Each structure stands twice: as structure tokens, then as C-alpha cells.
Structure 1
Amino acid sequence: MSKIAIDSIDRKILAILQSNAHATSEQLSDAVGLSPSPCARRVRNLEAAGVITSYVAVVDQLKVGLPISVFASIKLERQREEELDRFATAVQRWPEIVECYLMTGQRDYLLRIVVKDLEAYEAFLKRTLTRLEGVASIESSFALGQVKHARPLPIE
């Protein structure tokens, strides 16, 4: 992965692509004031440098039958590197865990888990998280509603 200096034009390109990954080079070039060829080259450079990591379809979790978001705070028995790495590797296997953060404070990890109902969460909890070696405690909080979920980063 190469390093890249991100200038104001790159930032404009990133802002557009975050809201519309299907934007063409022509659309980008019109928006940022460059011709299509240099604009496409900038996008390729942003991809090569790892600034743009992927292009995805954003799916509405309610419309696909996954209305429940659970935030689980995990405390490990020990916070040694090998235990942290083991946990981080394990959560990669479970698609129900859509976000995982290593935290400071009372808990070691914060997970966002998406499931179809409470029974599905209970089953997930029993067959995965509680069986994972090194987990000392799990505290679950259920989201009642989503007030904001911003996908684009505030690139200025």
C-alpha cells in the first residue's frame, strides 16, 4: 500500500463516492473541476493507497428481516495480547457481529450484533459468545431505535 497526500480535490471525490459509489468519472470530473482522465487516476490512486477500501451496497437491515441491534460489552478475563488477538480473530467468524471495537474503560470490547429477534440473539449468545474461552462477562443492551447512522465520514 502506497502513501498518498490527500488534497481538497481528493476530499471532494471521496465525499461524492461515499454518497454514490456508482458515480462515473464524468460525474466526478464535473463536480470537482477536472477532466475525466485525471479524475479516474485520482480514484485509482486513492484505491491503491488503501484510502478507498471497497465499494459496497448498503442494505436496510429492517427490510431484510434483521430489526434487532444489540450492543454487547465484553470483559475478558485478562487483557494480554494473545487473549485480545484470540477474541478479535474469533469475532471475524460470526456474521451477526457487524461491528467490533476494542475499548478503553470498564469493558474490553463493544460489539454491535444484528439479529432477527430476541430468540436469535439468545441462541447466538449461548452458542458463541458464552463458549468463547477468556470471556469473563457479557453485558447486552438492546437498541430501541436508531436516531442517526451516518455512513459517510465527515471529510473536510
Structure 2
Amino acid sequence: MTTKFDLDDFDRRLLELLKNDARTPVPDLADAIGLSAPACYRRIRRLRSIGAIEGEVAVVAPGALGWNLSMIVLLTLEREGNRTIRELMAQWAEHPQVVECAHVTGDYDFAIRLLARDMEDYADLVQRLFSDDDRVRQFKTLVVIGEARQHRSKKAA
């Protein structure tokens, strides 16, 4: 689903800077885009209110919380219906080990990003989420070896 926002060049540059580091002080942001600090602050408030800024979070290394394995699960349903898709996405979104879930086109119905403490934890997780669900025809797991993360702050890297 795509949402259209009424943004100008200042807004887009501001969003790009905030995407890289949401902790950047407003005066620094204002200097970088060529506005006064109060004008920049008003724009940030507006961007939050219209939903262009959905939230601000700490990007925590999964290993710091004991999630040492990252996997991508490609999943196919027995039958792809709107109700089933909504139910499964809601169910998976509630699970803390599911960090991303996308309904996709092509050979698979879903691409799901999972975290697990170890292989035993992973086996228990996929048994509960996928193997025991009659709506799931099959799934394939890809273990992530390494990754480049776009949302990591340049200051923190």
C-alpha cells in the first residue's frame, strides 16, 4: 500500500537526514537543509502528524538480546485468500521473533525475517508458526550469513 505525502525538497532532505540519525539536533538539521531551527522543528512535527515519520526507535543489535541467528523464510500457502493473508500477517506480527513479514509476488506468498537464539529455538519456532498450520503448504529457510543494514546510523557505525 502506497501513501502519497505532500512533501517539498526541504521535507525530503530532512527525512533523509533523520533516517540516517534521528538523534541529530534540530539546529544541525536546520543548518544542513537551510532553514531556521524553529521552521525545521515545525516541519518535523508536521511530518510526524501526517505519518511521514512513523516513529523513532533504537536499532539494537539482535545479538545483544541473545538473538544470534537470523533467517529469511520463503513460504507458500495452500490457498491464498485475503482473509488467510490478513490472519497470518496479524498472527506473525504479534510474535517477537518475526521482525519483518512481506506478502510478495512470484513463487512464494511470503518472505519472513526471523530471529532465533540457536537452531533448537528456530526448530521450535517454525514448528509452532508454520509446520503446525494447515494453511502453510511449504516453506524454505535461508540462514543469513551477513548483511548490510541501510538504517544504521552513520555516527553509530
| TM-score computed with the length of structure 1 as normaliser | 0.88
Are the structure 2 counterparts of residues 19 and 78 from structure 1 closer, same or farther at C-alpha, using a change threshold of 3 Å? same
**1:128 counterpart SS class:** helix
Contact 1:28 1:39 in 2 (8 A): yes
Count of paired positions: 150
Taking structure 2 as the reference length, the TM-score comes to 0.88
- The answer to whether residue 107 in structure 2 is matched with residue 106 in structure 1 is yes
CA displacement at 1:133 relative to structure 2: 3.9
Q: CA deviation at 1:143?
A: 1.4
Pairing of 1:80-95 with structure 2 (within 5 A): 80-95=81-96
What runs of 5+ residues in structure 1 fail to find an aligned partner?
none
Given that 1:97 and 1:111 are in contact with CA atoms closer than 8 Å, whether structure 2 keeps it comes out as yes
User: Which runs of structure 1 show a deviation greater than 6 angstroms over 4 or more consecutive aligned residues?
Assistant: none
Give the match for residue 149 of structure 1.
149
Query: 1:21-50 deviations in whole A, cap 9, x for unaligned?
Result: 112221211111111111111111111111
Contact 2:93 2:101 in 1 (8 A): no
Show the 5 A alignment for 1:29-108: 29-108=30-109
Distance 2:103 2:11 in 1: 30
In structure 1, distance between residues paired with 2:126 and 2:5? 42
Please give the alpha-carbon distance, in whole angstroms, between the structure 1 residues aligned to 2:103 and 2:112: 9
> 1:22 corresponds to which letter in structure 2?
R
Partner secondary structure for residue 37 of structure 1: helix
SS of equivalent residue, structure 1 residue 140: strand
**What do the CA deviations read for 1:114-146 (whole angstroms, capped 9, x no partner)?**
111111100111122222341111111111222
1-structure distance, mates of 2:96, 2:85? 19
Which residue is 1:24 aligned to?
A: 25
Residue 15 of structure 1 pairs with residue 16 of structure 2: yes
Distance 2:128 2:109 in 1: 21
Which sections of structure 2, spanning at least 5 residues, go unmatched?
153-157
What residue in structure 2 maps to residue 138 of structure 1? Answer: 139
Q: What's 2:155 paired with?
A: none
